[in-house]
Amino acid sequence: MAGRMVVGVDGSAPATAAVEWAADDARRRGLPLRVVHVCEPWPHGVGEPRSDHCAGVLEAAADLARGLAPDVEVTTEMLSGNVIEALIAESASADSVVLGSRGLGGFAGMVLGSVGMAVAGHAEGPVVIVRDPSAAGLGPGPVEHGQIAVGFDGSEHSEAAMEYALMQARARDARLRVVYAWQLPVFSPYAVGYGGVLEDVFQQEVRAARERVAPWREKYPEVEITEQEVCEHPVSALIKAAAAVDLLVVGSRGLGGFASAVLGSVSHAVLHHVTRPVAVVRPHRGAS
């Protein structure tokens, strides 16, 4: 992965948290940071001139980024049109896109807004969703754990997620926990009588998962990798793992998803339940 990081802002508290996370990540990885704001028109006759408001939002975010990471090259861009389409277009040439969990247009009780969900499902490359400064580990709140977790099932999307997670772990000098969750294909009361057989199947899955991780250990020998294989639903396993990490990384969809799905059920659920920053990774177009 190369290029610049992009952070989308709208003046909301989650967007401010996204700028903080993006500035810190750009500093760690030596990447330039592009701060963008999509300026949508006000309803007729409402408030100050829209262009002045948009310019203020953009410059305030850029000033924050420059203050947090003075060595990072920070540029700004005012965009127009549909917010989701503009951010997806930005992702095509970006290393990653960072967004707040919800913007000014969202309902206060929502965990993730429609913009974040849509961009995470359609963007090229990683999309990082950040909730607030304390959840980002930057400001009052939980300290950093020095650990990243990644959901890995061997699918193309989870391979891309693994690459991103290892890159993040290396930049942060953090440990990487690889989570592999295997669930019984079908629950049946008669399965109780096949406990030994099911255990054998699970152990076969564990061995296969470890074999898939082995090449990554060789590629990133400087990163401490631990593996966690559990027999439970992937969503439950990832939510538990996220409680003690600085970043949770998942593929946009895994082996169990329909080919036409843009965002799998696991990544969808994780985005709605995990309070720490979450990176949803989709392979860049043309990537092997």
Q: Can you give 43-90 as a three-state secondary structure string?
A: CCCCCCCHHHHHHHHHHHHHHHHHHHCCCCCEEEEEECCCHHHHHHHH
pLDDT 10s digits, 4-60: 999 999 998 899 999 999 999 999 999 999 999 998 765 555 555 568 889 999 999
Q: Which residues contact 205 (CB under 8 A, 6 or more apart)?
A: 180, 182, 229
Do strands 175-181 and 225-230 pair parallel, antiparallel, or not at all (unpaired)?
Answer: parallel
Instruction: Return the closest-CA partner of residue 142 out of 279, 16, 7, 277.
Output: 277
Task: Say yes or no to pLDDT of 234 above 60.
Answer: yes
pLDDT at 195: 56
Spatial CA neighbour of 1 closest among 97, 88, 83? 97
Locate 37 and state its tokens: 């704001």
Gap between the Cα atoms of 210 and 89, Å rounded: 36
Binned at pLDDT 50, 70 and 90, residue 127 comes out as: very high
Q: How many helical (H) and strand (E) elements, i.e. helices and strands, does the chain have?
A: 8, 10
Neighbouring residues of 185: CB distance < 8 A, sequence distance ≥ 6:
none
Q: Give me the mean pLDDT over the 267-279 stretch.
A: 90
- The strands making up 94-100's β-sheet, listed across from edge to edge, are 74-79, 33-38, 4-8, 94-100, 127-130, 278-281, 247-251, 147-151, 175-181, 225-230
- State how far the Cα of 274 lies from the Cα of 239, in Å rounded to an integer: 6
Domain architecture of the chain: domains with CATH: 4-130 (3.40.50.620), 147-281 (3.40.50.620)
For 164-219, the pLDDT digits (tens) are 999 999 999 999 999 998 776 555 555 555 556 667 777 887 788 889 999 999 99
Residue 89, C-beta contacts closer than 8 angstroms, at least 6 positions apart: none
The one-letter amino acid at 278: V
pLDDT mean across residues, the chain: 83
For 208, other C-beta atoms within 10 Å of its C-beta total: 12
